Amino acid sequence: MRVRIKLLAAAEMPPGFDQFGEREMDLPAGASLADAMADISLPAEETYTSLVGGQAVQADARAGHALSDGDEVTLLPAIQGG
Amino acid sequence: MGGWQGKVLRVDLSAGTTASEPLNQEWADQYLGQRGLASKYLYEEMDPAADPLSPENKMIFATGPLTGTMASTGGRWSVVTKGALTDAIACSNSGGYFGGELKLAGWDMVIFEGKSPHPVYLMIRDDDAQILDARDFIWGETAWVAEDSIKAKHQDPLIRIASIGRAGEARVRLAGGRHAQAPAAGRAGGGAGRGAKNRKAVAVRGTTGVAVHDPKRFMQVVGEMRQKLDTHAARERLGRVGTHAMMDNTNAYGSLPTRNGRDVQFDGHDAVKVKTAHTPRRSDRKANVISSKACFSCSIGCGRIAKIDPEHFTVVEETAKKRYGNAIGGLEYESIFALAPMVGCSDLSAATYVNALCNEDGMDPISLGGSISAAMELFEEGVITEKETGGIKLNFGNAEAMCRVAEEAARGEGFGAEVGLGSKRLCEKYGRPELSVSVKGLEFPGYDPRAMQGMGLAYATSNRGACHMRASPFVDDFSHVRPDGKAQIVKDTQDANAGKDATGLCAFAGNAWDLSDYAAQIDAACGGGWDAERLTQTGERIWTLERQFNMRAGLTKADDTLPERFLKEAAKSGVAKGRVTELDKMLPEYYEIRGWTADGVPTNETLDRIGL
Ligand code: SF4
């Protein structure tokens, strides 16, 4: 299956992402959100919020959240302040 | 005494005198610097019930023990007073170069009292402080002109200046202060307070140094902390895309206050998002953001320098506005949120222009945007018409109308003068107080509390009104939308942030540093056994003292609330679709965790425990 990943508020895009912070990802059927995120090199010292189809999936629920073909995953760094 | 200069400058504007006095070291040990120490002085020295625009109100410029040192981000300073917008204690934390220079001139704090019989400015050169006449000189001028004029008159380009613009002179209540190369120092009406004192500017030139308790350990610790900060992903982001990047998050999450809080996501987001601000436009092949800037001793550099599109109506209309076509201070998250989604405008150049006006004339862009958005909702609801606005069609999304009202507000003229009252007074005047998106009279920053419940509790309980820097529930708020667990997080981070706000270091470094990192630098500079626990206790003491000031000023539990909209109207989209802010669940728990009564009053046991 194929999902679309959007990475927000990034200073520099990790490998595989276009300049708009987007990337298509092919995953085996039944792959979870945690599987998809394991394939993206995000800075380890930061916490990321994950949305699937605009709905929040908490960090401890990612492994149990099966993705479906065509899903849109959005990743937001939980930056502080502004 | 390491970290401190040991001296306070007292300026009696009524008598026209200045005097040096020793720093109260006992208070400095209990409250640290900046927000903490200045709040203590204010609490002890003035009647909290005094009118904020009267001579009885005092205003304190305060540095922290790390201000002016080599510690990374060590240029922070605070303005503490009773706020003209909020009638509550107001502390504005600022950066730039002024605070470092004041400390290097040998002063920990400056206390202004009374009211000058005529407009003046204060000139400080190390030990020498003089009150000088501002009439026929800089009174009536914008802050930009005032700064250039002072430097020229005193023949020193290195003078650092904190000044008000015309808005502060006109007692526009949402006026702040401003100073070169930094965001405006002043939410909550500090600029109007300075205008009411007839004090236009403070200029300072310092040539001393700051002695620290253990120089060798200090150098080692600040070196380690700089390394930790410089290699952190958050520094890279803040340096390259600034705080503006936050809008990607809030829009996707559904926590971006839009059209005065009617919506939580902005359909015009693409036109004003950070990527757009960094993308070259057709007209001059330049992007809105042309470079970044940093405050004293800061290696992050989250500030922006921007250039308005040369074909934009704000810079082509008349020659008077041409100066805005040059490199000017750019947008931060809070200013772009307030001057774009909040007013429904998807015009990056218009937001940049109004932000520059705020800089030049000394207004708080968050409160200005939030007051214009309130006026727009009054207009859309038919409560006010073109008769009241002087012919301006003040609909959401009308960027030209926003610019015109902002220009009038800057001068305290026309309908802009009413907007300059702030949204609370404006909406009360027209019989619709519920349309003011504010707490204690201070307009919301850019986080909708229906999707960010912790931020909702933080706004409601903040001692200075709706503020996003008083607590840091960001990580938890961006992970779930339920109210559980928020009370503890808000209390803990309020205390931690109050501690950080007393150090002289920047809160944004908190993306990379934890509280023990702040404390380690204080301990090396001041000695005395500073650790994270003591800094948290100090923060709780500061928080509770501010609360006591507000109670004596007449504020009660009834002021710990949110506008009706957020408690009754469900979010229309985003992760919190269908939800309201569940303040009724969080607030009693918060009071209990704080050791306050059900009416929000600190108990005697609590006051004893924290040493008040
Ligand atoms: S992080 Fe930004 S606001 Fe803080 S000191 Fe550095 S440049 Fe100034």
Q: Are B453 and B438 in a shared domain?
A: no
Range of A35's domain? Answer: 2-77
d(CA B543, CA B551): 12
Would residue A82 count as lying in a domain? no
Burial of B414 (0-12, 13-18, 19+ CB in 10 A): middle
> In a 3-state reduction of DSSP, which class is residue B103?
helix
Q: Are B423 and B311 in a shared domain?
A: yes
Which of B233, B240, B507 lies at the smallest CB-CB distance from A46?
B233
Are the C-beta atoms of B44 and B145 separated by less than 8 Å? no
What mean pLDDT comes out for the span A59-71? 94
Would residue A17 count as lying in a domain? yes
pLDDT at B469: 86
Q: Which residues contact B146 (CB under 8 A, 6 or more apart)?
A: B121, B138, B161, B163, B165, B200, B201
Would residue A21 count as lying in a domain? yes
Give, for ligand 1, the residue of B298, B305, B500 to mutate: max count of ligand atoms closer than 8 Å to Cβ: B298
d(CA B576, CA B574): 5
pLDDT at B180: 44
User: From A73, which residue of chain B is nearest by alpha-carbon distance?
Assistant: B252
Kindly report the nearest CA distance between residue B297 and chain A, in angstroms. 20
Which chain B positions have a beta carbon within 8 Å of A9's beta carbon? 237, 241, 245-246, 248-249, 274
Would residue B229 count as lying in a domain? no
Would residue A8 count as lying in a domain? yes
Neighbours of A53 (CB within 10 A): 11
Mean pLDDT of chain B: 93
Domain end point (choices B402, B424, B442):
B442
Are the C-beta atoms of B448 and B569 separated by less than 8 Å? no
Range of B540's domain? Answer: 449-609
Tokens of B254: 């559904």
% of chain B beyond a pLDDT of 90:
82
pLDDT in tens, B59-98: 999 999 999 999 999 999 999 999 988 899 999 899 999 9
Phi, psi values for residue A33, rounded to 5° = -60, -35
pLDDT at A15: 87
Interfacial B residues in 463-502 facing A (CB < 8 Å): 468-469, 472, 474-475, 478-481
E strand intervals along B402-464:
438-439, 442-443
Which chain A positions have a beta carbon within 8 Å of B232's beta carbon? 45
How many domains, chain A? 1
Are the C-beta atoms of B175 and B189 separated by less than 8 Å? yes
Of A41-50, A61-70, B522-531, which gets the smallest average pLDDT? Answer: A41-50
What ligand 1 atom has the least distance to the C-alpha of B294?
Answer: 7
Distance B302 CA to ligand 1 centre (A): 5
Is ligand 1 within 6 A of the CB of residue B466? no
Phi, psi values for residue A50, rounded to 5° = -120, 135
Domain end point (choices B421, B442, B463):
B442
Question: In terms of C-beta distances under 8 Å and separation of at least 24 residues, what long-range contacts does B461-464 make, across chains too?
Answer: B461/B490, B461/B494, B461/B560, B461/B587, B461/B590, B462/B494, B463/B88, B463/B89, B463/B543, B463/B546, B463/B547, B463/B549, B463/B550, B464/B83, B464/B86, B464/B88, B464/B89, B464/B90, B464/B91, B464/B187, B464/B188, B464/B440, B464/B546
Q: Are B465 and B593 in a shared domain?
A: yes
Would residue A64 count as lying in a domain? yes
Any idea what the CATH number is for the domain that residue B593 is in? 1.10.599.10
Would residue A12 count as lying in a domain? yes
> In a 3-state reduction of DSSP, which class is residue B66?
coil
Is ligand 1 within 6 A of the CB of residue B544? no
Q: Which of B269, B237, B238, B276 is nearest to B251 (CA)?
A: B269
Q: Are B472 and B425 in a shared domain?
A: no
Q: Is A51 on the interface with B (CB under 8 A)?
A: yes
CB contact under 8 A, B475 and A80: yes
Interfacial A residues in 8-37 facing B (CB < 8 Å): 8-12, 20-21
Q: Are B296 and B434 in a shared domain?
A: yes
Is ligand 1 within 6 A of the CB of residue B507? no
Would residue B82 count as lying in a domain? yes
Are the C-beta atoms of B443 and B422 separated by less than 8 Å? yes
d(CA B65, CA B62): 10
Instruction: Identify the residue whose tokens are 């999450």.
Output: B253
CB contact under 8 A, A82 and B468: yes
CB contact under 8 A, B475 and A46: no
For residue B174, pLDDT beyond 80: no
B391: pLDDT confidence band, cut at 50, 70 and 90?
A: very high
Q: Which residues contact B285 (CB under 8 A, 6 or more apart)?
A: none
User: From B243, which residue of chain A is nearest by alpha-carbon distance?
Assistant: A82
DSSP states of B257-320 as a string?
Answer: -BTTTTBSS-TTHHHHSHHHHTSPPTTTS--SEEEEE--TT-SS--EEEE---TTSHHHHS-GG
Task: Indicate which of B335, B479, B481, B573 best probes the interface with A, i.e. most A CBs within 10 Å of its own CB.
Answer: B479
Q: Is B249 on the interface with A (CB under 8 A)?
A: yes
Q: Are B88 and B196 in a shared domain?
A: yes
Any idea what the CATH number is for the domain that residue A23 is in? 3.10.20.30
Q: Are B424 and B520 in a shared domain?
A: no
Which chain B positions have a beta carbon within 8 Å of A79's beta carbon? 234, 237, 245-246, 249, 474, 511
d(CA B482, CA B479): 10
Q: Are B501 and B592 in a shared domain?
A: yes
Helix (H) / strand (E) element for B500: namely helix B486-500
d(CA B385, CA B388): 6
Looking at the DSSP assignment, which residues form a beta bridge with residue B111?
B10, B60
Any idea what the CATH number is for the domain that residue B106 is in? 3.60.9.10
Would residue B107 count as lying in a domain? yes
pLDDT at B184: 44
Would residue B233 count as lying in a domain? no
Domain end point (choices B423, B442, B461):
B442
For residue B176, pLDDT beyond 90: no
B354: pLDDT confidence band, cut at 50, 70 and 90?
A: very high
Would residue B1 count as lying in a domain? no
pLDDT in tens, B248-298: 999 999 999 999 999 999 999 999 999 999 999 999 999 999 999 999 999
Q: Are B288 and B375 in a shared domain?
A: yes
Region class of B210: left (phi > 0), else alpha (psi between -120 and 50), else beta: beta
Would residue B236 count as lying in a domain? no
Q: Which residues contact B227 (CB under 8 A, 6 or more apart)?
A: none
A45: pLDDT confidence band, cut at 50, 70 and 90?
A: confident
Phi, psi values for residue B169, rounded to 5° = -60, -40
pLDDT in tens, B194-203: 777 898 999 9
What ligand 1 atom has the least distance to the C-alpha of B298?
Answer: 6
What ligand 1 atom has the least distance to the C-alpha of B293?
Answer: 7
What mean pLDDT comes out for the span B381-400? 97
How many domains, chain B? 3
d(CA B123, CA B203): 5
Q: Which of B12, B22, B13 is nearest to B106 (CA)?
A: B22
d(CA B412, CA B405): 10
Q: Are B61 and B125 in a shared domain?
A: yes
Would residue B223 count as lying in a domain? no
Would residue B543 count as lying in a domain? yes
> In a 3-state reduction of DSSP, which class is residue B439?
strand
Rg over alpha carbons for chain A, rounded to the nearest Å, is: 12
% of chain B beyond a pLDDT of 70:
96
pLDDT at A47: 85
Any idea what the CATH number is for the domain that residue B403 is in? 1.10.569.10
Would residue A36 count as lying in a domain? yes
